[in-house]
Structure 1
Amino acid sequence: MRRFLPWLLLFLPALAQVAVEPGWVRLVPPVVPDTAAYLTLANRGKTPLRLVGAETPVAKRVSLHRDYQEHRGGHAVLGMRPLPYVEIPPGGRVAFRPGGYHLMLEGLKRPLKAGEKVELTLLFQGGLRVKVTLPVEMR
C-alpha cells in the first residue's frame, strides 16, 4: 500500500479539479450507428483543463464535436465539426448539450436501450481519466 500512496496523492488534486454534472446519452433507432452523449464539466481548479477524448465499451470510438450554423446564399446550413480538444477554464464550466458541444459515440457495437447505463471514460491532457455513467434517454 505504501508504494501506491505517492501515486494516489499525485492524482488526488487533479480528480478534485474535475466535477461532472449529470448527463445522458441519446436513444437512437437500432439501425443508426452513432449517437451523442451530453454532460457538463466544471473545473474547480486554478489551471485550465483540456478534455482530449473519451472511450466507451459500447462504441468503436468517441470523438469531440461542436454543432454550428452558417449562412450560405441566404440559407442556414447546420452541421457539426470534430474538435481536437475542449478546454475548461479555471473556475469555469462547459456544457455538452444538443446544439453545442457533444461526445459522438461512433460505430455502436450494439443497439442501446432506454434506461440502460453507458460507461464513458473521459480523457484529459496529462493522463487524467475520469469515469462517468450516463443513462440512455429519448429526448
Structure 2
Amino acid sequence: MALPIVAMTLSSCGRAPELRVNDAVVILSPVDSNPAALYFTIHGGPEKVYLNSVLSRSVIRSEVHESKVDPKTGMVTMEPTRKIEIPAKGTVEFKRGGKHVMLWGVNRPARQLKELEAEFIFSNGDRIIVDAEVRAATAGDADKKDAHSGH
C-alpha cells in the first residue's frame, strides 16, 4: 500500500519556477542614427528580483526605459528607469508602448547576422545571456506610434 502514496507524493513535486528571459527581439530604427528597441519577456523565479540592466557588446549604450501615458495630456513619454521589479513566479513583458530597452549604435555584425547577444543582470546576482533576433522596422512598426520616434 505504501507504493501508491509514495508515487503520488513524488508526482506532486513540481520543478521550482526558474528566472528566465525569452522571445527577445531587437527592432532597428529605420533611421540608423536613432536607437533600436529590445523587447522580451521575463519569467520570475522563486523570489522577487529586479532587472538592474541589460548589456551587450554589440551596442554603444543601452538603457532600460518605460513608456507612460500622461493622464492630463494623453501624450506618451519615455523615461529611463533604474530597475524593474520581476515578481516571484510572475511574468513581465517588455513590449512596444511599455517597458523596453533602448540600444544605441547596434554594430554591423549584429545587423548582418540578424542576432545580438544581450546579458540581463538581476538584483540577486543572476546574469542571463540571451540571443535576440535583430529585425528591421516594418511598415507595421511605423504605424504603431510611440515615444521612440523622438529619439
TM-score band, normalised by the shorter chain? 0.7 to 0.9
**Map 1:1-139 → 2, pairs under 5 A:** 17-29=18-30, 31-45=32-46, 47-72=47-72, 75-110=73-108, 113=111, 116-137=114-135, 138=137, 139=141
- Structure 2 segments unaligned to the other structure (5+ residues): 1-16, 142-151
C-alpha deviation, 1:112, in angstroms: 5.5
Please give the secondary structure, in 2, of the residue aligned with 1:113. Answer: helix
Normalised by the length of structure 2, the TM-score is 0.71
Preserved contact between residue 30 and residue 111 of structure 1 (Cα < 8 Å): no
Measured at CA, do residues 92 and 136 of structure 1 come closer, stay the same or move farther in structure 2, by a change above 3 Å?
Answer: same
C-alpha deviation, 1:119, in angstroms: 0.5
Structure label with greater radius of gyration? 2
Measured at CA, do residues 102 and 54 of structure 1 come closer, stay the same or move farther in structure 2, by a change above 3 Å?
Answer: same
Q: Distance between the aligned counterparts of 2:116 and 2:93, measured in 1?
A: 19
Deviations along 1:10-30, one digit per CA (max 9) or x if unpaired, are: xxxxxx731222121002235
Q: Distance between the aligned counterparts of 1:120 and 1:95, measured in 2?
A: 16
Normalised by the length of structure 1, the TM-score is 0.76
Count of residues in Structure 1 that have an aligned counterpart in Structure 2: 121
- Relative to its length, the structure with more helix (as a share) is 2
- Relative to its length, the structure with more strand (as a share) is 1
Preserved contact between residue 24 and residue 130 of structure 2 (Cα < 8 Å): no
Q: Distance between the aligned counterparts of 1:114 and 1:96, measured in 2?
A: 24
Please give the secondary structure, in 2, of the residue aligned with 1:64. Answer: strand
Deviations along 1:112-136, one digit per CA (max 9) or x if unpaired, are: 6376101000011132111001111
- Structure 1 segments unaligned to the other structure (5+ residues): 1-15
For 1:8, the equivalent position in structure 2 comes to none
Preserved contact between residue 68 and residue 80 of structure 1 (Cα < 8 Å): yes
Q: Distance between the aligned counterparts of 2:98 and 2:92, measured in 1?
A: 10
**CA RMSD after TM alignment:** 2.2
Q: 1:118 is aligned with what amino acid?
A: L
Q: Distance between the aligned counterparts of 1:107 and 1:79, measured in 2?
A: 22
Percent of pairs with identical residues: 26
